[in-house]
Amino acid sequence: MDTPQPILEAQDLRKSFGTLEVLQGINFSLLPQEMVFLIGPSGSGKSTLLRCFNRLEEPTGGKIIFDGVDLMSPDVNINTMRQQIGMVFQQFNLYPHLSVTKNITLALRKVSKKDSSEADEIAREMLKRVGLEEKANAHPDELSGGQQQRVAIARAMALEPKVMLFDEPTSALDPELVGSVLQVMQKLRDSGMTMVVVSHEMRFARDAADRVAFMSEGQIVEEGEPGAIFENPQQKRTQDFVSEISR
Amino acid sequence: MNTSETFSRWDLFTETFFNQRLIDEYSGAIAKGILITCEIAVLVVFTGIALGLLLAMLRSYRFLPINVFISCFVDILRSLPPLVLILLAYFGLPSIGFSMSGFLVLWLVLSLILAAFAEEIFWAGILSIRRGQWEAARSTGLGHTQTIVYVIIPQAIRMTVAPLTNRTIAITKNTALGTVIGVGEILNQASTAQSFSGNATPLMMGAIAYIVLFIPVVAIGRWIETRFAWRRI
């Protein structure tokens, strides 16, 4: 059996803010159709790592290889690459001045250069997938947080990315709205989407993830199947974190 | 105080400010002044705001030499009294070979001043948009220019409407400064007529013309403000 090629790789990735080194040489690789959770205490660098993957954060050293392309190379058109790397944010970040449909179609029209009827058709399809067809003409401020986040997921999915990055997608939600977003993520996972998720939803991580990477102080301390990480962590820092969160 | 004296004072007042004969005689000139004032005002509003928006957008690229230039331009134009610039351009530039009509000088100077204020207002608006909006747009592959045009400016503009309206009204009223360089706008027509007639009626006509002209502008400004006010998430 061939070893599958990773779709996304970080090699000795470093990021400093001033004198503070928040990523201290990260090596990480993601296989197609994998769902990996990045967990760890706040300030451990997991969001920064995620944001380096599409260069919303500029790494100060190391490499990011996406689909065989070195994203740090000066020849790379980062805008083209970013279309293939969807991102979902903690604060949803929908465009408040545009309708739900227009939120989804903006990049389709302006970056993928699709005509508006085709873009609208894609938006309809994506809204159906996240269960919000009836909100096509609503504005973001008419939606609940959970609905906004599902629209944000639809917006990222519409570009048919090869990987989707989730930066604490449920952290800004009221507890009763978390479930609907996790459901959409589960469906996306079942459809074979490759995903990296920074999240504190440990139960979801345990149920859905293929792999969990535990980060602390700018390093990946330990990674493995969720069962191994949560039930039988090898490293002291992982053990401390796991016992802390399962209390 | 007897009635005849009150009566004559009232007469004197109407004779000085509302002389019917002079109103008839100079209404044509004032009308012409209104037309010219309107022309300059409209031109200044469009070029000034467009240039201000363009400068604010350029500034968002955060390219140091350009930003230094924009900051200098904005600070200098905001600190100079408009009259000084008008006189300098009208009387100074011909000596170095740039001869411009008073109309052109007035248009140019007022546009640049409005642009300087508008740039600051738009820039404040751009800065007020949360970083997440930029990140969301960029993460879908939109470039910097596309992000600013389709995502940032449409949101920023709603916040700039009130200060921009105020500033625009203030600058367009400065069209009256054209009178010192012979632009035949309202005040110029009125003061010419005043010196010919030796009577303040034409000036009063000019004042009324300004009110008639600018009250609708103020009203439209208020309407735009309410129309653009929208709920924040």
**How far does the CA of residue B55 sit from the closest CA of chain A (Å)?**
23
Pick the residue from chain A with its C-alpha nearest to B134.
Answer: A93
Q: At residue A210, does pLDDT exceed 80?
A: yes
- Interface predicted TM-score (ipTM) over 0.95: no
A83 inside 8 A of chain B by CB: yes
CB contact under 8 A, B141 and A83: yes
Residue A14 pairs in a beta bridge with A24, A61
Residues of A with CB below 8 A from B143's CB?
A: 79
pLDDT of residue B5: 63
Total structural domains within chain B: 1
Q: Which of A206, A209, A236 is nearest to A222 (CA)?
A: A236
Q: At residue B222, does pLDDT exceed 90?
A: no
Cα B229 from Cα A172, distance rounded (Å): 26
Average pLDDT, chain A: 94
Residue B192 inside a domain? The answer is: yes
B136 contacts: CB under 8 Å, gap ≥ 6: A87, A89, A93, A94, A95, A152, A155, B151
pLDDT of residue A4: 82
Residue B11 inside a domain? The answer is: no
Segment B5-19 shows an average pLDDT of 84
A122 inside 8 A of chain B by CB: no
B169 inside 8 A of chain A by CB: no
- Which pLDDT band holds residue A158 (cuts at 50, 70, 90)? very high
CB nearest to B135's CB, from A56, A94, A96: A56
What's the pTM value of the predicted model, to 2 decimals? 0.88
pLDDT of residue A49: 96
Residue B5 inside a domain? The answer is: no
Q: Domain range spanning residue B136?
A: 26-232
Segment B109-121 shows an average pLDDT of 97
Q: Which of A148-152, B12-16, B61-65 shows the lowest mean pLDDT across its residues?
A: B12-16
Residue B10 inside a domain? The answer is: no
**Three-state secondary structure call for residue A15:** strand
Segment B167-194 shows an average pLDDT of 92
CB contact under 8 A, A97 and B158: yes
pLDDT of residue B3: 58
- Which pLDDT band holds residue B6 (cuts at 50, 70, 90)? low
Q: State percent of chain B over pLDDT 90.
A: 73
B151 inside 8 A of chain A by CB: yes
CB nearest to A97's CB, from B132, B146, B155: B155
- Which pLDDT band holds residue A48 (cuts at 50, 70, 90)? very high
| Contact status, residue B52 vs residue B118, Cβ threshold 8 Å | yes
Segment B138-145 shows an average pLDDT of 96
B81 inside 8 A of chain A by CB: no
pLDDT of residue B232: 43
A86 contacts: CB under 8 Å, gap ≥ 6: A156, A157, A159, A161, A163, A164, A165, B139, B140
Residue B16 inside a domain? The answer is: no
Q: Any idea what the Cα angle at residue B32 is, between residues B30 and B35, rounded to 5°? A: 110
Q: Which of A87, A22, A83 is nearest to A51 (CA)?
A: A87
Q: At residue B44, does pLDDT exceed 90?
A: yes
Q: At residue B231, does pLDDT exceed 70?
A: no
Residues of A with CB below 8 A from B146's CB?
A: 110-111
CB contact under 8 A, A85 and B139: yes
Q: Which one has a higher pLDDT value, B145 or A3?
A: B145
pLDDT of residue B233: 36
Residue B47 inside a domain? The answer is: yes
pLDDT digits (tens, 9 = 90+) for A83-121: 999 999 999 999 999 999 999 999 999 999 999 999 999
Segment B126-147 shows an average pLDDT of 96
CB contact under 8 A, B146 and A111: yes
**How far does the CA of residue B143 sit from the closest CA of chain A (Å)?**
6
- Which pLDDT band holds residue A247 (cuts at 50, 70, 90)? low
Pick the residue from chain B with its C-alpha nearest to A77.
Answer: B141
Q: Which of A98-102, B13-17, B109-113, B146-150 shows the lowest mean pLDDT across its residues?
A: B13-17
Residue B124 inside a domain? The answer is: yes
Q: Which of A73, A104, A92, A86 is nearest to A141 (CA)?
A: A92
CB contact under 8 A, A54 and B142: no
Residues of B with CB below 8 A from A123's CB?
A: none
Segment A4-23 shows an average pLDDT of 93
Residue carrying the six token digits 């996304």: A8
- Which pLDDT band holds residue A2 (cuts at 50, 70, 90)? low
Please report, for the domain that includes residue B142, its CATH number: 1.10.3720.10
CB nearest to A89's CB, from B136, B150, B151: B136
Residue B205 inside a domain? The answer is: yes
Cα A111 from Cα A103, distance rounded (Å): 13
- Which pLDDT band holds residue B2 (cuts at 50, 70, 90)? low
